[in-house]
Amino acid sequence: MTAPRAPLRFATFLAPNMLPVYRFLADRIGDRLGRPVELVVGRSFDQFERGEADLGVICGLPYVWLAARRPSPVEPLAAPVLAGARYAGRPVYYSDVIVRHDSPITRLEELRGCSWAFNEPASHSGHTITLYSLIRMGARPGFLGPVIEAGFHQRAIRLVHDGTVDAAAIDSQVLAIELRDHPQLADHLRVIGSFGPSTVQPVVAASRLPGWLKDPVRQLLVELGDDPTARPLLAHGFVDRFRLVDDAAYDDIRAMLATIETAGWTPVFGHVSDESEWDDYEWSWVGSLTQWALDNPSHPDARDALEVARKHRDSWLRGYRGTLGFACLLLRPTGRR
């Protein structure tokens, strides 16, 4: 008798409102490969090197960081093409800048002095492209008012909605899902402009995986757009299809990082989050997913969402709590006063 093969781990490092799509991808990949694929919530990008994650979805910014290592621990397989004319059939997305519906702000240039929320420093859509776009606008340090790190896009949306902050830049895919699933948000928010486009987040494989595993996953992903049984799940995430991408597809993000560096932004202050701040972040992430599942008990993914939240909560409280946290840097232009 042949021993059962160990499951592959598909790690998501992205917004929890895309969980049904990632669950579907993990299941389809498992069917194609003939072995179980377990969906897990990523804790560290180093999991790909340590053998703790085999496949996954990650933001383009940490992909660029990982790709700069020699050897790179990950390889991009494909990226989603989002539904809608603004995406023009390309694997790109935007960062939509939102304000309350009753805000006097009507365009990006009017954000001077306004309070701002972003999800986290390792996010391209919430952080890097904002800094890049402000540089391109000619903004100087202090252009924005108070800035809050929300932990994830859904919380940043709600900070704008309840008036805690004036504005935020939100991944356009995440925003579309939130506004569809929570109409009360759509009634009180509006978009005043967008940053981008940028190459969208890739599905990646650990570089250590053999080609006979990676190649069928690539093929599966690009075939999903023509599979009528896949359409409902892809539509949940406003995904039209997947397109093959390679490392060069993320040169646009590298160029934005180079522009930021050329502008001379230099760290002048660093802050490492304490355990209380990290706890707030973790409870926000796990709590959001758990609340969604409890608010939508009849949804077919509600039970899986609760299980993913439980596993992540256990790995945090019984594992890496006290050893992992955020490091935030305050930047200012070099050679300027």
Instruction: Examine residue 210 and state whether it is found in any structural domain, yes or no.
Output: yes
The one-letter code for the residue type at 142 is G
On whether residue 335 sits in a domain, the answer given is no
In what helix (H) or strand (E) does residue 141 lie, and over which residues does it extend?
A: none
Which residues form the domain of 155?
Answer: 92-198
The conformational region for residue 169 under phi > 0 = left, psi -120 to 50 = alpha, else beta, is beta
Is 235 part of a structural domain of the chain? yes
The helix or strand, by DSSP H or E, that contains position 81, with its residue range, turns out to be strand 74-82
pTM of the prediction?
Answer: 0.79
Encode the chain (337 residues) as per-residue pLDDT tens digits: 444 578 999 999 888 889 999 999 999 999 999 999 999 988 888 899 999 999 999 999 999 999 998 899 999 999 999 999 999 999 999 999 999 999 999 999 999 999 999 988 888 999 899 999 999 999 877 889 999 888 889 989 999 999 999 999 999 999 999 999 999 999 999 999 999 999 999 999 999 999 999 999 999 999 999 999 999 999 999 999 999 999 999 999 999 988 988 887 654 444 545 667 667 777 877 888 888 889 888 988 888 888 888 887 877 677 656 544 555 555 656 655 4
Pair (62, 207) in one structural domain: yes
Last residue of some domain: 264, 280, 313?
264
Number of domains in the chain: 3
Across the strands, what pairs with 170?
A: 96
Which amino acid appears at position 211 of this protein?
G
Is residue 321 within 8 Å of residue 269, measured between CB atoms?
Answer: no
Q: Where a domain ends, among 147, 171, 198?
A: 198
Please check whether residue 258 lies inside any domain of the structure. yes
